Chains A and B, each alone.
Chain A
Amino acid sequence: EAQVTQNPRYLITVTGKKLTVTCSQNMNHEYMSWYRQDPGLGLRQIYYSMNVEVTDKGDVPEGYKVSRKEKRNFPLILESPSPNQTSLYFCASSPREGLLIGQYFGPGTRLTVT
């Protein structure tokens, strides 16, 4: 089954404790992206990647890091989480030219930073 998976689905952590949210897709897609979703603000893009070893900043990259060492994986790293990073995070992927057909989203990771 074609899918985007994220782990963990729920995470409660404390300020400053480094964490990684994993994202994996099995569709051989070139394009992968991370978003955060907050009430009243909608989805905001954090980082995106057009292919292996190619990453670019989205609209809200501060406080986040990503890497794309393999085509299928695109982890999101929070080196020193802060409470303002409490949010719902989505990973997504699509074929590079198939931004035309929209992205496939993972199920989401709800992160709480206390």
Chain B
Amino acid sequence: DTAVSQTPKYLVTQMGNDKSIKCEQNLGHDTMYWYKQDSKKFLKIMFSYNNKELIINETVPNRFSPKSPDKAHLNLHINSLELGDSAVYFCASSSSGLAGGPDEQYFGPGTRLTVT
């Protein structure tokens, strides 16, 4: 019954490694997002996909590469991990709702990434 799920929940890895986080939503939404929440709880959008097409790409290092194989899935691959990448990464989804105004976003439980 989980609406937006992420795996893994925790990820501890060393600098220089490559890792991936997976996200799946079963809400039938057409838009998915990746957010980064830092240690001060600031939330910043990284990417957004609509119907598998990248529509928002904030100023994010190109070590971060999202991929959306279908509308229900959005993965995030991170190359050459750095200490500053340590954060909680949230996936979210929504309907684009372009006609009647934006729909609210549904967030996953987060993936806590720790780079040592």
Instruction: Please indicate whether A and B come from the same complex rather than being unrelated chains.
Output: no
Query: Which A residues lie at the B interface, using CB under 8 A?
Result: none
